[in-house]
Structure 1
Amino acid sequence: MAEIGWIAAGGFLGAMARYAMVAFVSARWPTRLPLGTLLMNLIGSFLLGWIASSGLNEQIAFFLGTGFMGAFTTFSTFKLESVNLFRWGEGKTSLLYMGMTYLLGIGAAWLGFGVGM
């Protein structure tokens, strides 16, 4: 039952961090490409790879990995933004966004995993 508390606390902080970072990036660099979400997902992929391979104790792993990173990164927003780009006639931008998110995200997770070992 304690795991739920760790996950909830991490999720709260991760959601707040994502909101603040996306708002900052979007205001600083406005573009059709959802740069804020892209950056959060890439940073989150790297950090989750690091967390997964770093041998942290279970409570910290729940807090950081499942809670914080689960809320800091966002699969649903990524999908909605991808669909909306197509709806707005920005098909090439949508494909670029999806390709960058998947390919760079896997690379970032791999790099983070290597750093954490």
Structure 2
Amino acid sequence: MNWLLVVAGAMVGAPLRYLTDRMVQARHDSVFPWGTFVVNVVGCAVLGAVAAGAASSQVRLLLGTGLCGALTTYSTFSYETLKLAEDGALGLAVANAVGSVVAGVAAAFAGAAAATALWG
């Protein structure tokens, strides 16, 4: 039955990732992959909150594994970073790699701190 929670979360996370990516990227006239950056950072914050909060195992499966697993995307982040480097935008590729890791970890800590403050 746990797999249904993962599927339900992923059914929301995957389209949310696609729609958010398209919406964010449409607002920027840049080759920098802002859409992927945003979904990954938001997903890190949500996962940090779920991991630190007093969430049940079912909520962790639904939101952590399902929603965040489908919302965030390491493969697209890696591909977009590689593509930037291949296209000669090495500075943007490095900024994407470093910025994504730093912002993602910071967002996870912030999500965890927020959950701890709210739910103790």
Separation (CA, whole Å) in 2 of partners of 1:38 and 1:10: 20
Pairs aligned (count): 116
Match in the other structure for 1:95 = 94
Q: In the TM superposition, what are the counterparts of 1:1-117 in structure 2 within 5 Å?
A: 2-117=1-116
Deviation at 1:30, TM superposition (A): 2.8
- For residue 89 of structure 2, what is the amino acid of its counterpart? E
CA RMSD of aligned residues (A): 0.8
Task: Give the 3-state SS of the residue equivalent to 1:60 in structure 2.
Answer: helix
Separation (CA, whole Å) in 2 of partners of 1:24 and 1:113: 27
Separation (CA, whole Å) in 1 of partners of 2:74 and 2:22: 17
Separation (CA, whole Å) in 1 of partners of 2:95 and 2:115: 29
| Structure 1: runs of 5+ lacking an equivalent | none
Q: TM-score, normalised by structure 1?
A: 0.96
Separation (CA, whole Å) in 2 of partners of 1:67 and 1:44: 11
Q: TM-score, normalised by structure 2?
A: 0.94
Separation (CA, whole Å) in 2 of partners of 1:31 and 1:39: 14
Separation (CA, whole Å) in 1 of partners of 2:96 and 2:32: 7
